[in-house]
Amino acid sequence: MSDEPRLALIVSDSAKAQEGAEALRDAHDWVSPEEADVFVVLGGDGFLLHVLHEMLDRDRIKPVYGMNLGTVGFLMNGPHDHIPIIHRVMEAHSVPVTPLRMYAVSNDGREYKYYAINEVSLLRETRQTAKLEVRINGRVRMEELVGDGVLVATPVGSTAYNLSADGPILPLGAPMLALTPLSPFRPRRWKGAILPESAEVEFHVNESEKRPVAAVADQKEVRDVKSVRIRATYEKELTLLFDPGFTLEERIFAEQFQV
């Protein structure tokens, strides 16, 4: 960034984040979120995702510099140090993040639209397995996937729920999506697929009344779905800012070589 950006400070309600904010409030001339060029977010990954979702919902998208004062902090920079915050923001490099848009239709015919930054997942609601038809770009690729469910993850989300489900870690910035089954019963040996980011993924729930399924876009849940369609939303691209040498790419590499 060549010109000095106007910064807004957005702080989680947690005691740790509130305490950390005290050291920053007097260290810079902050502006309101409406006036800001960049949001500086204090908290953990969950709070950062909350802020990003609010930007998507309000169509007020601005670069975000996260500072870890939570628990995991995978998407965040290190805590405050002696370097002025404006210098850290101006020296940071940007990482584009393309969110997904979920279009869900419930058994009663209602339609829902939500964004997902990490993943969209379909999960069985009862003890009975889910039965899902999988379509890619309008073509049936699997007539019936039987198991606990399935998810579609972005590169950013590939190290979250997707990784726990034994899905592949995707390189940051790669135009790919991970399609990962959750405890598949049939086909038993199917490990999922890596799809181009441009692919439109669609699931139809077989026996949806008898075997109810919920669809979840990050934290937004729709129960008793009949069908779900997912696609990347390029017009809503987000920007995360990271300190030099403190990259998300390095964290993704580290996740793949943990023993």
Question: pLDDT per position in the chain (259 positions), as tens?
Answer: 458 999 999 999 998 889 888 888 888 999 999 999 999 999 998 899 999 999 999 888 999 999 998 766 678 898 767 789 999 999 999 888 999 999 999 999 999 999 999 999 999 999 999 999 999 999 999 999 999 999 999 998 998 899 999 999 998 778 999 999 999 999 988 999 999 999 999 999 999 999 999 999 998 999 999 999 999 999 999 999 998 875 566 666 666 666 5
- Give me the pLDDT at residue 177, please: 97
What CATH number is associated with residue 55? Answer: 3.40.50.10330
Nearest to 1 by CA among 94, 84, 81, 77: 94
Answer yes or no: are the C-beta atoms of 238 and 115 closer than 8 Å: no
The reply to whether 251 and 146 lie within a common domain is no
The reply to whether 92 and 170 lie within a common domain is no
Q: Which two tokens stand for residue 145?
A: 């996937």
Active site residues: 45
Q: Which two tokens stand for residue 155?
A: 């590169």
| 159 annotated ligand-binding residue | yes
- Give me the pLDDT at residue 188, please: 85
What CATH number is associated with residue 224? Answer: 2.60.200.30
- Give me the pLDDT at residue 255, please: 67
The reply to whether 94 and 145 lie within a common domain is no
* Structural domain contains residue 185: yes
| 232 annotated ligand-binding residue | no
| 69 annotated ligand-binding residue | no
Nearest to 48 by CA among 249, 251, 239, 256: 239
Determine the structural domain holding residue 174 and report its residue range. Answer: 100-234
**162-194 as b/e, with b when 16 or more CB fall inside 10 Å?**
bbebebbbbebeeebbbbbbbebeeeeeeebbe
The reply to whether 228 and 247 lie within a common domain is no
- Give me the pLDDT at residue 35, please: 95
What is the H or E stretch that residue 113 is in? strand 111-116
The reply to whether 124 and 203 lie within a common domain is yes
- Give me the pLDDT at residue 19, please: 87
* Structural domain contains residue 14: yes
Radius of gyration of the chain (CA): 20
- Give me the pLDDT at residue 74, please: 78
The reply to whether 222 and 245 lie within a common domain is no
| 40 annotated ligand-binding residue | no
The reply to whether 60 and 86 lie within a common domain is yes
The reply to whether 222 and 133 lie within a common domain is yes
The reply to whether 94 and 104 lie within a common domain is no
- Give me the pLDDT at residue 144, please: 97
The reply to whether 115 and 92 lie within a common domain is no
